[in-house]
A and B are shown apart, each in its own frame.
Chain A
Amino acid sequence: MSRISEDQVKHVANLARLVVTDEEAEMFTKQLDDIITYAEQLNELDTEGVEPTTHVLDLKNVMRKDEPKEWIKKEDALKNAPDQQDGQFKVPSILE
């Protein structure tokens, strides 16, 4: 049984803001299915009650003082922007 269908791949691509052609969807479905099928070996392990590790260091809420600092100037922040207007990043229309 396949773990992921072509429709699911297209759905996931949309969530990730990617476009896939029908041809690419077919290729990715096969490849992702292989990877997910392989990864299901983890089900051999009983992990009942095992704490998940999100991070290896025992860190919690690393805080610093909330003080304003010199960082990047607005003009600099905009200089690599593909498009800008009136000191702001400009994007195509949001409404279709």
Chain B
Amino acid sequence: MSLFEHSLKELTRKLNDNEITVTDLVEESYARIEEVDGEVQAFLTLDEENARAAARELDEAGDKGASLFGLPIGIKDNIVTKGLRTTAASQILSNLDDPLYDATVVRKLQKEKAVTIGKLNMDEFAMGSSNENSSFQATRNPWNTDHVPGGSSGGSAAAVAAGEVPFSLGTDTGGSIRQPASYCGVVGLKPTYGRVSRFGLIAFASSLDQIGPITRSVEDNAYVLETIAGHDEMDSTSANVEVPAYTEALTGNISDLKIAVPKEYFQEGVNEEVKASVRQALRKYEELGAEWEEVSLPHSKYALSTYYLIASSEASANLARFDGVRYGRRSENAETMIDMFKNSRSEGFGDEVKRRIMLGTFALSSGYYDAYYKKAQQVRTLIKNDFDKIFEEYDVVIGPTAPTPAFKVGEQMENPLTMYANDILTIPVNLAGVPGISIPCGFSEKGLPIGLQIIGKHFDESTVYRAAHAFEQATNYHKQRPELGGNTK
């Protein structure tokens, strides 16, 4: 049995009791990567030498007080790691082999003695829902390698599902943690906006981006968030709000829980198998003593338009920094500075990134600003108000994470709008800034995972985790593993 079948807390106990060593864990990770990553293609960069050295050092030091002592982690490639290649899966950063600093989340992981195994594939600059927009490789779904893992944190979700690492970090701007977690049958949380520092996260849409954990269980997820959450003076939008002990919220008792189920999350485009799994989950919640009622979030259908205008506008500003001057790739075909900017960017960015930069530039340009950008920001207020109103009466909102299980590689690359629709149920959460989690709640007839989304109030991850954990403990979906490499069902 893989060591990663154990919870993070159990692995910590085993290390403390000298049943296993950090080297065992790190070697397990690289052995599994060697075995299955040729198929899954989750990792862009491995940090073997440093990880092995760190493992030896930790084994020798023997001070096991740190909360993530010796636990191997994979990190999404848009999170900056000092001295370790960081590309955001873009050609324009393909030569950034030696970044200058660590993201705050990476510093926090290091302080708690986690061991970085490597950097994980993603859609370029986190723009995409399938990992097919990576400029290096297309990660595959461990449950069926003809299917996508979701995106943009597809590498982070696939690596955990494939048992290559016990946990990873992803980022979520419109669903980029939750949708791949749903497709890969793992647990992924987008924290409240401001809960986790964004310092050192390569910015896509700064008013929406959040870093969060991807794990095999709700308890592991809560445990990791305890480490990475909190105020950071390097990110002025990180909130100065106390970080509770999330694992203590996992009581198993949800008899007081009031669940809102938005009827809009069961409408057109949502697949029947997904609806059936979510309805079954709601019956499970009833059995566990919780109450649920159908509600309306009337502006849900406007979220996709709102998101693409706002996120693309912010991206067009954020990605202006990639110009071939201070770091990254510079085009060799340019005589003047302006041509150097243009050619470096045109050679360095993929089509989806260009599309969004142009959409954002258009929406922000004089004559269109009020009609598109300002309008979208006003509708964002309406979407946020929908949630505020529901949360006056209910503790959590529950629905599907994604409208379908994982689709096939290549199936949705023709039309950008079709691809965007995969995020229709996750985007409202980013616009409102509230926390949301995806946990496994079933399988399609073809054996692909289905995810349940649980959304909470601002800074109330504790209730989200409590609701998720109670369901998880009453079901077996999170214990299923894909057939891959030496694993059989």
A residues in contact (CB < 8 Å) with B = 4, 8-9, 12-13, 15-20, 28, 31-32, 34-36, 38-43, 45, 47, 50-57, 59, 62, 64, 72, 76-77, 79-83, 89, 91-96
Contact = CB atoms under 8 A, between A and B. Distances in A.
Q: Which 8 A-B pairs have the closest CB atoms?
A: A56-B433, A52-B377, A82-B330, A62-B236, A80-B327, A47-B378, A39-B305, A50-B378
A19 B101 contact: no
Given A12-B358, A28-B358, A81-B326, A92 B335 contact: yes
Identify the interface centre among A39, A57, A62: most chain B CB within 10 Å of its CB: A39
13 contacts: A8-B362, A12-B358, A15-B361, A17-B341, A28-B355, A28-B358, A39-B308, A39-B372, A45-B379, A50-B381, A52-B380, A80-B328, A83-B330
Given A39-B309, A42-B376, A18 B336 contact: no
Majority-rule SS of A interface residues: loop
Contacts of B415: 34
Contacts of B309: 39, 42
Interface residues of B, number: 71
Identify the interface centre among A28, A54, A92: most chain B CB within 10 Å of its CB: A92
A18 B346 contact: yes
Nearest to A95: B336
Nearest to A51: B381
Contacts of A45: 299, 302, 379, 382
Contacts of B304: 38
A51 B252 CA distance: 40
A33 to B, nearest CB: 11
A64 B233 CA distance: 8
Contacts of A8: 362
A16 B361 contact: yes
B326 A80 contact: yes
B417 A38 contact: yes
B337 A92 contact: yes
A7 to B, nearest CB: 12
B336 A92 contact: yes
B433 to A, nearest CB: 3
Given A42-B305, A50-B382, A82 B358 contact: no
